Structure formats: structure tokens, C-alpha cells
Amino acid sequence: MRLKDKVCLITGASKGIGRGLALGLAKEGANVVVNYNTDPQGAKQVEMDIESLGRKAISVKADVSQYEEIDLMVKKTIEKFGRIDVLVNNAGVVGLKPMMDITEEDWDSVLDINLRGVFFCSQRVAREMIKRQVGGKIINNSSIWSWAGCPGLAAYCSSKGGMTLLTKVMALELAPYKINVNAIAPGAIEVEKFTHADPNLANTWSSYIPWGRIGKPEDVLGTVVFLASNDSEYVTGQTFYVDGGIVCQLKVPPSIDEYHKNVK
């Protein structure tokens, strides 16, 4: 077990990639804090699934766009486990809308969760890591759309592009404390909110992915385990594309706008 007894806090872990990471890190020996905002039942199920693996878990509600809720989430984690070894900033929203239709509220709702939330979660957790003087790991869940633009995703692309440079800056500032900061950039991943919008999602994307199939949450897990483990001790400030080769060519389905229309 590469993460035996590590304490991992994962934001947005009640479903999708976050759920897959929570269970996968638990299988590697970690105790997990399952953060959620709007899905208490999903978070509780993930918590119980982790405990069935013989690991400890708690589910904690917090809107990562609100600093007070971040602070309370971290305090509850410290009360339960005494420390945080790994933070995975996974919570995020898409907010697809044409550029000319985006309102201030639309823009703020995406940036507040996807970028502001990542910064303040990282800052708050880093303070706890620095107190312990034993280092730590921060992993940001970015996207291939941090590398290229996509029509209808102005706010999302901006948030993920900002995350790339934020990852580098945090890596520089936290390196003296031996806190590694890295990001993963998944491509098309088969998760609930996307398959609900397009039941044919896998077939739509597969012919555009060099690897020949759409990704699944477990495809992201190996890279995250590496970044959370001691194996990545000399790796910081990097973004790892976990996309089946999409960014090598960035050919996307012409119907991308169609199946994104219902994804909020």
C-alpha cells in the first residue's frame, strides 16, 4: 500500500472522478475525508464504501467557494485525524454557455469554485502542513481545456488555465516546506453528469481519442496515487495530461457543443 495511513482530503468526492479517487486512495491504504456540497447521500455512500475497505473516512459538507466553510472543513479533518497529508482539489463546475451570454453571476460561479476554491483550500491546508514540518502533497484536478480553448467554455477554460499557473506558483512558494504541488489534466472522462447529457458519450468520443476509448475515473487514479505517494518526492509544479493522447492532436467531436448544452 503506497499511501498506508496517509490522511487524504478530497473535495467534490461524492461522485464522478472524486468518488473514484476517494475509493482508489483508500485501497492504497489512505484514510479519506469525503467533501461534498449538494449530495450528502452520495458522500455518505462513499464514506461507507471506504470503511468497508478497512479504512477510516468522514464526509464533510463545504462549499469551496466560501472560505468560512473551507476553514470549518479543515478544522473537522484535524479534529478527526490530527493532520492532512494529501489535498486533492477535485471540486469543479463546467458552466457551459456562449461567451456573449455569460453574466457576471455565471462567470463568478465557475471561477469561485474552480480557481478561488482551489487557492483557498490549498492555502488553508498548506498552513496545517507547514505547522507539522513534514511536507505534504497538493494535487489539483485541471483539464485538457487548460491547454486549449473550447467554444462555450470561456469561464471553465479560464479557470483551468489559471490553475496551471497557480499550480506553478504554489509549487515555488511551498517548495521550502517540502510540499509538492502538481496538477492532473483529464480528457474526456465517462462520469455521471456527462453521460446524463449524452448517453452516447463514449461512442461519440472514442474515435477522437488516440487510445481508442473514452476515459474512466479509474484511469485518473494511477497518476494521482503517484503524485500522492513518496514516489513523486522530486516532482512539483507539473501538469500531467491523463487523456488518452487527445492533446497530441486535439481533435474533438463536431457535436461537442450539442452534448454539452445540458451540462451545467
Q: What is the CATH number of the domain that holds 109?
A: 3.40.50.720
Q: Is residue 41 part of a domain?
A: yes
Q: Is residue 238 part of a domain?
A: yes
pLDDT at 191 over 80: no
> What is the Cα–Cα distance from 124 to 229, expressed in whole angstroms?
21
Active site residue 234: no
* Average pLDDT, integer, range 197-212: 73
pLDDT at 14: 97
pLDDT at 195: 43
Q: How many folded domains does the chain comprise?
A: 1
* Average pLDDT, integer, range 163-170: 98
Beta strands in 3-103 (DSSP E): 7-10, 31-36, 57-61, 86-89
Domain of 235, in residue numbers: 7-190+216-245
Q: Is residue 233 part of a domain?
A: yes
pLDDT at 262: 55
Choice among 36, 67, 156, 241 that is catalytic: 156
Q: Is residue 57 part of a domain?
A: yes
Place of cell 463546467: 94
Q: Is residue 18 part of a domain?
A: yes
Q: Is residue 21 part of a domain?
A: yes
Please, which residues have CB within 8 angstroms of residue 15's CB and are 6 or more apart in sequence?
Answer: 39, 42, 191, 192
* Average pLDDT, integer, range 199-217: 79
Q: Is residue 237 part of a domain?
A: yes
